[in-house]
Amino acid sequence: MGRPQARSRKHTSKDKRKDIKTKHRVKDLDQIIVDLKPENAEKLEKQEVDPDLPGLGQHYCISCSRYFVDARALSDHRKTKIHKRRVKALKEDIYTGPQQLIDNGKPIMRDESN
Amino acid sequence: FFFCCLRRSVMRLEKCYFCESTVYPGHGICFVRNDCKVFRFCRSKCHKNFKRKRNPRKTKWTKAYRRASGKDMTVDTTLEFEKKRNRPLKYDRELIGTTIKAMKRIAEIKHNREARHIERRLRGKKKERTMEAIKELRQFKHIIRPPTATKPTLLQIKASQRAKRLQQERTKKDKNTLDDHLPTPVQQQS
């Protein structure tokens, strides 16, 4: 018999892949915006050595929420279109949901109410 | 001690996170994220789009897109009523009654305003454009006329004719004023 047909990925759509499953879920843009705040960004750039993560968790791209194997991989990633697109998307207005809250949802303590 | 908590289940109509349609009890999926944010979806379509990380502001069939692109009304006082407040209110029967009446009326008004917004958008700018074109023509008609032409334009002819007519009427009027002083002959039927 002939050799098995090489599996071509030409006609698979990205959306059908398994990474859409909840267990493979990646951070949402509104979570990343929180991460980008200086207090949080500091912590994320200097993470503890974690053997389970790629590159021991030392090379993390905050805007893409991805770990890289080494510093070179991270710097190469920063030049890619995907990263640049993500950085641009984060600067735009992010959809936070349909609920509109008065006073931006600040909870009002019972003592303050009349 | 044993505390028996009588918990009354509150029915609440939620809004789908993705498309903003109403989620009735018993419908849809509710996803709670690691940071305790709750996402409600009206159907699997919205849920799947959310999992694919699509932006509702760019997905054409959602309310978020329609508002972002100005197809639906965004700024209106009736929309202020729909905002959720975290302030707990003391139960007041009258207040509840008037609120329910107000809700109906506000819904009516909002519906009408939204319809008008869409009507206005679909009407197009044909009328406005023609008015602008007329205005521009009037302003620059002297440029349209070729500089080497010696014959008067139709407009000029008509203008001069009109001037003549007016002058004739004026002279007639002057003649008539003399006649006005004389008594008008009244035909009496005998």
**According to CATH, where is 2.30.170.20 located in chain B?**
8-71
CATH code assigned at A69? 3.30.160
> Most distant CA pair in chain A: distance in Å?
84
Pairwise CA distance, residues B162 & B7, whole Å: 88
Residue A71, in any domain of the structure: yes
Tens digits of per-residue pLDDT, B109-133?
Answer: 999 999 999 999 998 888 889 999 9
User: What is the dotted CATH code of the domain comprising B8-71?
Assistant: 2.30.170.20
What distance in Å separates residue A23's CA from the closest CA in chain B?
Answer: 11
Contact call for residues A94 and A30 (beta carbons, < 8 A): yes
Amino acid (1-letter code) at residue B37:
K
ipTM of the prediction: 0.77
Domain that holds residue A70: 26-91
**A53 lies in some domain:** yes
Confidence at A57, pLDDT banded by 50, 70, 90: very high
Place of tokens 């905002």: B83
Q: Is residue A65 part of a domain?
A: yes
Query: Cα distance from B28 to chain A (closest Cα, Å)?
Result: 16
- Cβ-Cβ contacts under 8 Å for A57 (sequence gap 6 or more): A47, A48, A49, A50, A67
In a domain, A104, yes or no: no
Averaged pLDDT, B147-160? 79
Say if A73 falls within a structural domain.
yes
**In the numeric block, which tokens belong to residue A40?**
């949080």
Tens of pLDDT along B78-90?
888 888 777 888 9
Model confidence at B9: pLDDT above 70: no
A-chain residues within 8 Å CB-CB of B79? 100
Spell out the residues 6+ positions from residue B50 whose beta carbon is closer than 8 angstroms to its own: B17, B18, B31, B39, B41
How long is chain A? 114
pTM recorded for the entire structure: 0.68
Whether residue A41 is contained in a domain is answered as yes
Residues of B in contact with A20 (CB under 8 A): 48, 51-52
Paired tokens of B159: 């203008």
